[in-house]
Amino acid sequence: MLRVQAQVAYLPRWHCYPHADCLLLYFFGFITLHCRLFVGLWHWRPRPFRVFSRPLRYSFPANAEEGMAQALQAAYISTHACPACSAGVHCNAAAQRNYGSLSSMRREEVATLLTESVESVSLNGSPQKVAAEEKPSFANLLEVDTVTEAELKENGFRSTRRTKLVCTIGPACCSAEQLEAMAMGGMNVARLNLCHGTKEWHSQVIQRVRRLNAEKGYSVAVMMDTEGSEIHMGDLGGESAVRTEDGEAWVFTVRKFEGQLPPRTAQVNYEGFAEDIMAGDELVVDGGMVRFEVVEKVGPDVHCRCTDPGLLLPRANLTFWRGGHLVREGNSMLPTISSKDWIDIDFGIAESVDFIAISFVKTADVIKHLKSYIAARSPQRAIGVLAKIESCESLKNLKDIILVSDGAMVARGDLGAQIPLEQVPSVQQEVVQLCRQLNKPVIVASQLLESMIEYPTPTRAEVADVSEMVRQRVDALMLSGESAMGQFPEKALSVLRTVSLRIEEWCREERIHESSSLQQLATSLPDQISEQICNAGALMANKLEADAIFVYTKGGRMASLLSRNRPDCPIFAFTDSKDVRINLNLRWGLIPFRLDFSEDMEVNLRRTFSLLKARGMVKAGDLIIAVSDIAPSSQSNMLQSIQAVLLQVRVSLNAVMDYTI
C-alpha cells in the first residue's frame, strides 16, 4: 500500500451523502481493478474516508513523457499519507482519483498537480486546507553524471567503463570549453598540481569545474596534489621547458638571483645540496629524463656535465647516486609536509576540494596528523587524503600508510628514480593488490602515454602498459604531462578510455578474475555482516549474470565493499549525500547517484526504478541485485539486506520481486 495526500472535490448535490465519493471510487474500481469490487466492499465501513484497493501492478510507460509523469507520481505517492487513514493504510485509490490516467498526463501537468493547494478530509469529515507544496524538479529527483547517463541510454549496462580516469589540469586544458571537452571524454577527477601555477589560477579552475557540475550535470571531483619537500629544481627563469644537449655544462645552485637566471643555470630548493653531493656523483632529473655528472663544487654552486640529454621541466625532482646507490641523506633531513604544503592544504580546504594527495609520504603518522588537521579545519565536510607512494621510505611502511589513508597513488616517475627500474612493475602490482585487499582506492600515475605530449598517437608499448594496469583492475589511471601541457590532451584521454573499455570487456569474456579471493577485513559483527553481504551480492551478480547491482548507502562503505569485489556488472551507488556521491568517483566500477532516501527499502526501489526507467537507463527484463544499509531512524541497529529484483511486468516470486505502484 502507498501513501497519498487525498483530494476531495465536494459538489453541492452530494453534500448530504457522506460516502458518495467512496461509492464512485468503488464504481470505477470495478472497471480498473479487475472485478475486485466485492473485496473492496468487504473492507468498507462508515468512517470519514477509507478505501481499500489492491496495489496496481507496475507497467512500464509507453514514452518518455508518460515515464516522467509516472516517476513524479511515484515520488509524490511514496512521501504523502492519506490523513483520513487513522490506521496508516496507504490510499492507492485516492491516488488514482487525483491523478487520473497517466497515459494522458504530461510531465508539466503532473508537476502542476503536485504544487496546487488541495483539500483533504480531516478525521471529523470536514474539508481542511493543505498548503501548497514546493514544485519538485524532475532533474533533482535523481542526480547522475551526464556522460554516464548517455552511455547507459545508448549502449546499456555492460557498456559502462569501470576504470576511473584522472586528468592533470594545466595550460593545455584549463579553459571552460576544454574542461567540458575533457568531462565529455570521460574525466572523473580533475587533478591540480600545486607545484605549478598560482593560487588564483587554481581557484579559477576549481570554480570552472564546479560550474560544469552544477550547470551541465557532470560529476567531476577535484584533487589537489601537494609539492612535497623533496629536492627539486626551481622555475627555470619562467621557461616552460628547456632542452639540454649532450656534454653541455650546467650549474645547479642554492643561490638566490634578483633578476634573470644566468644561461644553463638551475636553482635547487635544498640548502644543503652542495654539502651533500660530491664530485663524480650522478645527478638524475625527473626520474631519469635527464642525467648529469658532477664535475666540481665551487661554494654553493655545483658544476655538472650532461650525459643523457632531454627536456628539463620546472620544479623537476632531483636525486643523486653514488656508486650505483641512491644517496638519501638530503631527503631524510626534509619534513614530509613543508611550510608551503601547509599553505596549499589550507587553500584546498578553503576551496572545498574533494581529495588531497600528499607527496613523498614516509610514515603513517604524517597521514594521521594531516587528517586530524583537516577534520579540525573542515568539520562539516570530509576531504579524502591520498598517500603518494614514490620513495623508498614509503615502501618500508607501505601497509601502515595505506591503512590510515583514504587511498594511494603509485607515482612511478619519482618512484623509479629511487628504486631500480626493473623493480617498478612488481612494486606497482604489490601496491595495487594491497590497496584492494585493504579496501582503499589506488591510482597508477606517471608516464602512461608520455609520447602523446608531442605526438597524436601513443606507442604500442604504452598501450600495452595501460592494458596491464586495467587488467590488474586498478581503480583509476592518471594523465600527468599528457593532459597538462601536451599538444593532444583530449586524444590522450580518449586512448585511456577506449583501451580501458576493451580490456575490461576482454577480462569479462575470458573470466580471468573468477578465482581471485579477498581476505576478511572486518573485526566487529556489524562490519562482518556488511562485508559478507557485499561478497555474496557480487558473487550472486556474477553467477546470475545480473545486469547491475544497486546499493543504497549513507556513507559509501557498502558501495566500496562491492567495488572491492570487482563484479562483472556495474554498481549503481545511491546515496543522499552530495559529498559521498562525489567521493565515490574514485572507486572502480561505481556509478554514483544522489537520491533522497525513504526508510522503506521497497519504496526506494520503486522510486529508483521509476526514475531510471523515465530517463531510459533501465528496461523490462533487467536483473538487478539490490543491497542496502539504510535503516529506519527508529531502529538503533543497522538494517542490512540483499535482494534480487527482476524488472518484469508479470513476475512475483520470493527472490524475484515484482514491485508495484
Q: Give 598-654 pLDDT, tens digit per residue.
A: 878 888 888 888 888 888 888 888 899 999 887 665 554 445 556 555 554 322 222
Contact 317, 288 (CB under 8 A): no
68 vs 179: which has the higher pLDDT: 179
Residue 140 pLDDT grade (very low, low, confident, very high; cuts 50, 70, 90): low
Query: In this predicted model, what pLDDT tens digit does every residue of 475-510 receive, in sequence order?
Result: 999 999 999 999 999 999 999 999 999 999 999 988
Question: What does DSSP assign to residue 270?
Answer: -
Distances from the Cα of 173 to the Cαs of 178, 235, 493, in angstroms? 5, 21, 12
Residues 656 and 605 sit within 8 Å (Cβ to Cβ) = no
- Specify the pLDDT at position 155: 80
What whole-number distance in Å separates Cα of residue 492 and Cα of residue 448?
9
* pLDDT the model gives residue 1: 32
> Residue 454 above 70 pLDDT?
yes
Please report which confidence band the pLDDT of residue 527 belongs to, taking 50, 70 and 90 as the band edges: confident
> Which SS3 state, helix, strand or coil, does residue 386 take?
strand
Specify the range with the lowest mean pLDDT, choosing from 8-12, 147-151, 517-521.
8-12
* Alpha helices, H only, 338-488: 339-350, 364-377, 392-396, 398-404, 412-416, 424-437, 460-471, 481-484
Q: What is the CA radius of gyration of the chain?
A: 30
Residue pair 160/570 in contact by the 8 Å Cβ criterion: yes
- Whether 539 has a pLDDT exceeding 70, the answer reads yes
DSSP one-letter code for 317: B
Residue 581 near residue 219 (C-beta atoms within 8 A): yes
CB 569 within 8 A of CB 593: no
CA distance readout (Å), 338 to 191, 228, 335, 515 = 20, 6, 6, 44
The pLDDT of residue 162 is above 70? yes
- What are 194's three cell numbers? 600545486
Between the alpha carbon of residue 265 and those of residues 317, 478, 494, 615, the distances in Å are: 16, 31, 38, 60
CA distance from start to end of the chain: 8
Over 90: is that where the pLDDT of 175 sits? Answer: yes
Summarised one tens digit per residue, pLDDT across range 26-40 is 444 444 444 443 444
478 contacts 409 by C-beta, under 8 angstroms: yes
Provide the pLDDT confidence category of residue 238 given band limits of 50, 70 and 90. Answer: confident
Q: In which residue are the cell numbers 535503516 written?
A: 631
Q: What is the pLDDT of residues 197-236, one digit of tens each?
A: 899 999 999 999 999 999 999 999 999 999 887 888 988 8
Nearest-CA neighbor of 616 among 213, 61, 160? Answer: 61
pLDDT in the model for residue 60: 45
> Residue 224 and residue 393: Cα distance in Å, rounded?
22
For residue 285, give the H/E element and its range: strand 282-285
Q: What angle do CA 93, 96, 101 make, to 5 degrees?
A: 155
Assign 515 a pLDDT band (cuts: 50, 70, 90).
Answer: low
Q: What is the mean pLDDT of the chain?
A: 78
User: For the ranges 41-45, 275-279, 530-534, which has the lowest average pLDDT?
Assistant: 41-45
pLDDT band for position 8 (cuts 50, 70, 90):
very low
Indicate the pairing of strand 142-143 with strand 590-595. Answer: antiparallel
Q: What is the DSSP code string of 112-155? A: HHHHS-EEEE-TTS-EEEEPPPPPPPHHHHEE--HHHHHHHHHH
pLDDT digits (tens, 9 = 90+) for 319-365: 888 888 888 655 556 788 988 999 999 999 999 999 999 999 999 99
What is the band of 142 on the pLDDT scale with cuts at 50, 70, 90? confident
Please write the tens of the pLDDT for every residue from 382-412.
899 999 999 888 999 999 999 999 999 999 9
Inter-residue contact 69 to 109 (CB < 8 Å): yes
pLDDT value of position 113: 36
Q: What does the pLDDT read at residue 219?
A: 93
Mean pLDDT calculated for residue range 424-433: 95
pLDDT grade, residue 252 (50/70/90)?
very high
pLDDT(110) > 50: no
Res 630: pLDDT: 79
| Residue 617, pLDDT score | 87
- What integer pLDDT is reported at residue 332 of this predicted model? 58
3-state helix vs strand vs coil in the chain, percent to 5: 40, 20, 40
Most confident of 64-68, 100-104, 168-172: 168-172
pLDDT greater than 60 at residue 530: yes
Report the C-alpha gap between 291 and 246 in whole angstroms. Answer: 10
What is the pLDDT, as a whole number, of residue 232? 86
Does 560 or 122 have the greater pLDDT score?
Answer: 560
Helix (H, G, I), strand (E, B) or coil at 607: helix
Q: How many helices (H) and strands (E) does the chain have?
A: 24, 25
Q: Report whether 559 contacts 571 (CB < 8 A).
A: yes
Give me the percent of the chain exceeding a pLDDT of 90.
49
- Residue range 114-125: mean pLDDT, rounded: 33
pLDDT at position 495 is: 97
Q: 311-327 burial by CB neighbour count: b if 16+ within 10 A, else e?
A: bbbbebbbbbeeeeebb
C-alpha 122/C-alpha 374 separation (Å) is 52
Contact in structure between 123 and 48 (CB atoms under 8 Å): yes
Please give the model's pTM, rounded to 2 decimal places: 0.75
| 562 in Cβ contact with 556 (< 8 Å) | no
At 523 the pLDDT is: 82
Q: Which three cell numbers stand for residue 473?
A: 583492475
Q: Comparing C-alpha atoms, which of 210, 66, 26, 18 is closest to residue 616?
A: 66
